[in-house]
Amino acid sequence: MKNNIRVERAIKDITQADLAEQVGVSRQTINTIESNKYVPSTVLALKIARVFNKPLEEIFMLEEGD
């Protein structure tokens, strides 16, 4: 699964630390999600989407092979 959190963060002009604080996780977790090394749970994905005020599918997309 890929995501465009990095792009959305740039649009909203917030840092990884800001996003981490808003969704209640560590900065490491946001960093690994952004680099596609960790797939978040549905709850965390929904929380992230809510921060950006966008539907889940606009932030997270399935890749081929998923």
Partner 1 sequence: MKNHFLFPYWCRYLGWGLVILHVPLSILGRSHGMINIMDPQPRDQGIFAGEHLFFICTTLIMSAGLFLVAFAKEKIEDEQIWHIRLDSLRWAIYINYLVLIISLIFIEDVPHMLELNLWVPLIFFIIRFRWVIFRLNRLLSREG
- 54 near partner 1, rule: CB under 8 A: no
Cβ nearer to partner 1, comparing 37 with 64: 37
Closest to partner 1 by CB, 21 or 64: 21
DSSP assignment of 7-55, as one string?
A: HHHHHHT--HHHHHHHHT--HHHHHHHHTTSSPPPHHHHHHHHHHTTS-
- Pattern of binders to partner 1 over 7-46, x per CB under 8 A? -----------------xxxxxx-xx--x--x-xx--x--
Q: Give the H/E segment covering residue 61.
A: strand 60-61
Q: Is 2 helix (H, G, I), strand (E, B) or coil?
A: strand
Residue numbers at the binding site for partner 1 (CB under 8 A): 24-29, 31-32, 35, 38, 40-41, 44
